Amino acid sequence: MGGMTNDVRAVEWTGDGLRLLDQTVLPGRVEYLDVRDVDTLVDAIRRLVVRGAPALGVAGAFGVAVALLQAEREGWDRARRNAAIGRIREARPTAVNLAAGVDRVLPLAIEGAAAVAAGAQELLDEDVRGNRAIGAFGADWILARTGDRPLRVLTHCNAGALATAGWGTALGVVRELHARGRIELVYADETRPLLQGARLTAWELEQAGIPYVVQADAAAASTIMRGLADVAVIGADRVAANGDTANKIGSLGVALACEAAGIPLVVAAPWSTVDLAVPDGDNIPIEERPAEEILGWGGVKTAPAGAAAFNPAFDVTPARLVTALVTETGVLEVSAGVTPGRSDRPS
């Protein structure tokens, strides 16, 4: 099942530092960034060297170990160390996993960097296991509703091995469907402006030998309305207690088209992405990114000089449009009223 895909490690601890697969240069180059200081990590998170909610959670957790090692090396006092950890925690606002990953290992800080790294490794291992379970639950749920036909699946952004500790959430479901011989074609939305779909999802699907096409984001609604997709499967950056779901900008358009066409919108996300402290989508902070990402590509300006841009990185799909939320413990049929806040979250 794509031996290579099992080797994709977005985030890895090397024993004395953090190694990130540099997602800004994929698929052209496979390069790693070794992170030994907080400034480099915060910059890497902001530039999307590491990205995707669960991968951010794991990077944040290992980032606490990076901060502790740097504090020791450079003789920081506690206040400076805590401020540095706070900067990691807040490097990007939307995916709850980042802050949650930091918070999860903070109690281990008193035991030192090695204990924190061990705690972060536990989070990483849990995420891989969780993704496998998400894949199986998601595939079961989809196949129970679509019968015997080969499936055409639409996905948006990248919720694959690169966005997690391994395997993937939405792409984990796709990988599982493929392993069961049920994928006819994946429509990968290119995902403007940073092309996570065209660059990263396509790279993963290529390596896994899963048939796919890349399409412009603007094609998604039409693909769905023309009956060319049987189901859309996407990831999430934060799911509110009522089931409202933040994901990459453009996900809402996919969701609206799914509703109009009467096909299911499946959100695949671990419980670590569910934020029960947030009642609904209005309370999910939405990151706004630099204008240059919209106004040009690869250093080349595509808009006139002086053009301004609006660049929200995420949107919120209301719970009523989320047919199913697939977690590592099973499937919640959110639009039918089974919301995360009313379900048992595993401890």
Query: What is the CA angle 271-200-120, rounded to 5?
Result: 40
Pick from 62, 248, 315, 328 the residue near ligand MRU by CB under 6 A. 248
How many residues bind ligand MRU (CB under 6 A)? The answer is: 18
Query: What is the CA angle 157-206-236, rounded to 5?
Result: 20
Pick from 2, 17, 52, 193 the residue near ligand MRU by CB under 6 A. 52
Q: Is 247 annotated as a binding residue?
A: yes
Token code pair at residue 50: 């590491």
Q: Which of 2/57 has CB closer to ligand MRU?
A: 57
CB of 84 to ligand MRU, least distance (A): 22
Q: Is 92 annotated as a binding residue?
A: yes
Pick from 121, 169, 223, 327 the residue near ligand MRU by CB under 6 A. 169
Burial 149-166 (b: 16+ CB within 10 A, else e): eebbbbbbbbbbbbbbbb
User: What is the rounded distance in angstroms from the CA atom of residue 128 to the CA atom of residue 328?
Assistant: 10
Residue 237 contacts ligand MRU per CB under 6 A = yes
The DSSP code for 167 is S
Pick from 247, 317, 327, 343 the residue near ligand MRU by CB under 6 A. 247
Instruction: Give, as ranges, the residues between 106 and 145 that touch ligand MRU (CB under 6 A).
Output: none
β-strand pairing of 300-301 with 296-297: antiparallel
CB of 51 to ligand MRU, least distance (A): 3
* Placement of tokens 């099942």 in the chain: 1
User: What is the rounded distance in angstroms from the CA atom of residue 276 to the CA atom of residue 240?
Assistant: 6
344 included as an active-site residue: no
Element (H, E) at 330: strand 330-332
* Region of 5-13, 24-32, 45-53, 201-209 interacting with ligand MRU (CB under 6 A): 45-53
Catalytic residue among 230, 237, 244, 275: 237
Q: Which residues pair with 188 in a beta bridge?
A: 155, 214
Residue 203, amino acid: W
CB of 99 to ligand MRU, least distance (A): 14
Element (H, E) at 222: helix 220-225
Residue 223 contacts ligand MRU per CB under 6 A = no
Pick from 99, 157, 241, 258 the residue near ligand MRU by CB under 6 A. 157
Neighbours of 225 (CB within 10 A): 14
Q: Which parts are annotated binding residues for substrate?
A: 51-53, 92, 196, 247-248
Q: What are the catalytic residues? A: 237
- Give the binding site for ligand MRU (CB under 6 A): 48, 51-54, 95, 157, 159, 163-164, 169, 196, 235-237, 247-248, 313
